[in-house]
Structure formats: structure tokens, C-alpha cells
Amino acid sequence: MERRIVVVSASAPAKVILLGEHFVVHGAPALVMAIDRRVSVAANLRSDKQIYIKSEAMELSGYFSTSGFQIGEGRSEALKELEPIHMVIRRILNLSKRDTGINVEIRSSVPIAVGLGSSASVSVATAAAVSRLLDVQVSKDEVFHIAYDAERLIHGSPSGVDPAISTYGGVLLYIKEKGITPLNIEVDVPLVIGNTGIARSTGEMVAKVHDLRRRYTSIVDPLIKSCGNLVEEAIKALGSGELGALGELMNINHAMLSAVGVSNESLDRLVYAARNAGALGAKLTGAGGGGCMIALVLPEKNREVAEAIEQAGGKAFLARKTDEGVRIEE
């Protein structure tokens, strides 16, 4: 009788930074929101003791074993790209005290390397899927910490916002000195996201703002303080459901980000196209220098704004707030 292969699937959401990127590095608060684009991970046991990881989005696969790493498909960077996922699987295997091989296959509706937190979503979903596969009881807090450790392999000293929002969902307030605070936001936040398709380096963008602040401290520091005030106003607007006010604050935040040099012509083109087509507000999201922008849009304007972004050279898709974090797909 043929043995039935048990496959366990889990998914976790991507994220956008609604307000506060870059200034958060210098102590200002940031608002981060989970969106209804998700990364899915399917896991099943192998008959040998190898760990096989395949990512359709990255077009990479490879085998980890006691003898090292072997590329299945893809480029020479496969080891670097897949190692954080391997680390998550190893952590769960150690907790299970089992010595078995595992297949992990990653599928994603989230564009990669554009500031939407796809790598953290993968780590979070992998931790959930493999722990269920191996009958290891882990809390969401434990999933977060495992994914956070994997993020450190990628980003060095990450804030923890990406794995947190992917684990718990909803909207989070992040302040560097205080950490993460979940917010109870009931209003829907409908977005059109525009992807410039331009690769960028988060580290380079962060360093650029650091250097500007060093040279013009008396000018940049008031912007940092103003960003804190802006985020406080945004929380009030979200609490009362005033999307028009939130849109205005997004516009102000984009101007502040442009002032410190992290926007560019491609992002500005998409931002202004969205506003001209009826968005309540629009701004870059994430590191800037490329990647994505977000537009706050009432449902009746979705199509017009998305078409305007496409005509301005971006790739547009709809997204909205999700309060659901990581989950097992039954």
C-alpha cells in the first residue's frame, strides 16, 4: 500500500509602511500595516535527511545536507538567499528532536525585494508550516522570534517590524527605543500599490539619510520631530475613520521623504499620477530609491488610479489591511 504524503501549508501577509520610514531609524515612530497579499509555504517529509527548498518567485532551489549545499536550480546566490529559510527549518527540527528530511516549497503573490516584507513573510510561514508538520507546538510569539533571527541573517540588525507584522497582522506602531505596539484599527484601508520595478539597496538609502542628517543636523532634526507629530495625527485619523486626513498626511510624509533624498523620478511619477487620478493620498513605501509606492483610494476610484499608475510606468495591484497574521491553511 502506497504511503500518503502529508503536506502542511501555511501563509503569512506582506506589509506596507503607511508612514514614517527612514525617520524611524532616527527615533521617530512608524506605522506599519499588514496587507492581504500573502506568501504560502508547503512542507512535507522526505525519505532521506536532506532539506530541499524551492522558491518559485526567486527561481531558486537547493538541497541542504550534512555534506553541505547543492544548487537545484538558479544562480550562484542560491545559498545566500535560501540559508535564512534553512535556518528556520533547522530551528523547528531541533525543537522536534527529530532527524528527518523536509521539502519546503514557497509560492508568493508578493513582489520580492520591493519593500513589502516578502522575506519575513517567507520565514514566518515556513516556521508555522514546518512546526505543524512535525507536531511541534509553537506560539505566535515563538514564530516571531524564529523569523526575526532569520531576518538578522539578511539584514544584520533589523527592527523586527517585518516579522512582527507578518506574524500578528493588523497595524503596528514601531518606535526604535520602545519596540512594537499593536494598534486596534477597525477602519478599512484600501490601497493601490505601484511597483516601479527598480531594484534598490535599503542600506544605501539609510546611509544617504544618515549622511544628510550629519551635514545638516539643524534642518533634518526638525523633520524627524515633525514626522513623529505626523504619525500621531495619522493614528487619530485611523481611529476616527477619517481617510481624507490620512491621505493628506501621506502626501506630507512623501514630501518629507523627498526632502531627505530617498524618492526619485520614477516614484514621484507614480505618486503624482495616483493623486491626479483621485487618490486621497500617495507616497513611497519602504526604503525608496525604487521599489513601491502606495495610494490610499476609495473603492470607486480603484480602477482609475491603478490605470494611471500603469500608464505612468508602474505595475499596479490592489491591497487592503488584513488583521489576520500567519495561519495554517486547512
User: Does residue 248 fall inside a structural domain?
Assistant: yes
Per-residue pLDDT band for 144 (boundaries 50, 70, 90) equals: very high
Q: State whether 181 and 200 are in the same domain.
A: no
User: Does residue 1 fall inside a structural domain?
Assistant: no
Per-residue pLDDT band for 330 (boundaries 50, 70, 90) equals: confident
Residue 4: predicted pLDDT: 60
pLDDT digits (tens, 9 = 90+) for 222-234: 999 999 999 999 9
**Residue 3: pLDDT over 60:** no
Higher pLDDT, 120 or 4: 120
User: Does residue 2 fall inside a structural domain?
Assistant: no
User: Does residue 117 fall inside a structural domain?
Assistant: yes
Q: State whether 70 and 94 are in the same domain.
A: yes
Assess whether 323 carries a catalytic annotation: no
**Residue 102: pLDDT over 80:** yes
**Residue 14: pLDDT over 50:** yes
Q: State whether 137 and 228 are in the same domain.
A: no
User: Does residue 224 fall inside a structural domain?
Assistant: yes
- Catalytic residue, chosen from 36, 99, 135, 162, is 162
**Residue 156: pLDDT over 90:** no
Q: State whether 122 and 33 are in the same domain.
A: yes
Lowest mean pLDDT, pick from 35-49, 64-78, 148-162, 258-272? 148-162
pLDDT digits (tens, 9 = 90+) for 25-78: 899 999 999 999 999 999 999 999 999 999 988 889 999 998 899 998 887 788
Residue 5: predicted pLDDT: 67
pLDDT digits (tens, 9 = 90+) for 293-311: 999 999 999 999 999 999 9
Per-residue pLDDT band for 153 (boundaries 50, 70, 90) equals: confident
User: Does residue 310 fall inside a structural domain?
Assistant: yes
**Residue 194: pLDDT over 50:** yes
Per-residue pLDDT band for 114 (boundaries 50, 70, 90) equals: confident
Q: State whether 14 and 138 are in the same domain.
A: yes
**Residue 88 is part of a domain; what is its CATH number?**
3.30.230.10
**Residue 1: pLDDT over 60:** no
pLDDT digits (tens, 9 = 90+) for 202-224: 888 888 999 999 999 999 999 99
Residue span of the structural domain in which 200 resides: 190-320
Calculate mean pLDDT across residues 116-121. 91
User: How many domains in the chain?
Assistant: 2
Q: State whether 180 and 201 are in the same domain.
A: no
User: Does residue 216 fall inside a structural domain?
Assistant: yes
Q: State whether 36 and 170 are in the same domain.
A: yes
**Residue 258 is part of a domain; what is its CATH number?**
3.30.70.890
pLDDT digits (tens, 9 = 90+) for 66-78: 889 999 888 778 8
Q: State whether 154 and 263 are in the same domain.
A: no
Residue 2: predicted pLDDT: 45
Q: State whether 178 and 247 are in the same domain.
A: no
Q: State whether 154 and 92 are in the same domain.
A: yes
Secondary structure of the chain in HEC code, one letter for each residue: CCCCCCCEEEEEEEEEEEECCCHHHHCCCEEEEEEEEEEEEEEEEECCCCEEEEECCCCEEEEEECCEEEEEECCCCHHHHHHHHHHHHHHHHHHHCCCCEEEEEEEECCCCCCCCCHHHHHHHHHHHHHHHHCCCCCCHHHHHHHHHHHHHHHHCCCCCHHHHHHHHCCEEEEECCCEEEEECCCCCCEEEEEECCCCCCHHHHHHHHHHHHHHCHHHHHHHHHHHHHHHHHHHHHHHHCCHHHHHHHHHHHHHHHHHCCCCCHHHHHHHHHHHHCCCCEEEEECCCCCCEEEEECCHHHHHHHHHHHHHCCCEEEEEEECCCCCEEEC
User: Does residue 3 fall inside a structural domain?
Assistant: no
Q: State whether 55 and 180 are in the same domain.
A: yes
Query: Which triple of cell numbers denotes residue 173?
Result: 506602531
Q: State whether 28 and 114 are in the same domain.
A: yes
